[in-house]
Amino acid sequence: MNTKQFKVETGLEVKSCLTCGIVYAIPTELIKKRRGDHKSFYCPNGHSLYFPEMTDEERLSRSLELCQISCENQKRKSRFNDYKARYWRGKVTKILQRKEARDGWEKTESIL
Ligand SMILES: [Zn+2]
């Protein structure tokens, strides 16, 4: 019989099942992968387990996404406020022009 020997090194993480309490070891790389993709894995007794919490990368990505949304909202508010300011500036200008035409007042552009 021809046998070959090979050496495999892998890290194992010791976990316990939340349902049955069995203690088991699972490769560190697999745990890392499951934390990232949130897919199910099984304890030795067949209970389905998964990591629902976000990874640091997901948390940072979500935080960045929220910052971008907030930034866009602020830009929209700013554009709307600019629009309102132009609108009211135009209204005031018309009122002053009418008043000037009616009363012969001096132009008061300096206050605008
Ligand atoms: Zn279990």
Higher pLDDT, 53 or 110: 53
Specify the pLDDT at position 107.
52
pLDDT tens for each residue of 61-95: 999 999 999 999 999 999 999 999 999 999 999 99
The reported pTM is 0.55
User: Is the distance from CB of 30 to CB of 5 less than 8 angstroms?
Assistant: no
Place of tokens 């897919």: 39
Specify the pLDDT at position 8.
78
Q: Please give the Cα distance from 33 to 26 (Å, whole number).
A: 12
Query: How many A from CA of 45 to the centre of ligand 1?
Result: 5
Half-sphere exposure of 60 (CA within 13 A, CB side): 3
Query: How many A from CA of 16 to the centre of ligand 1?
Result: 8
Query: How many A from CA of 57 to the centre of ligand 1?
Result: 28
Domains in the chain: boundaries: 12-49, 56-111
Query: How many A from CA of 82 to the centre of ligand 1?
Result: 61
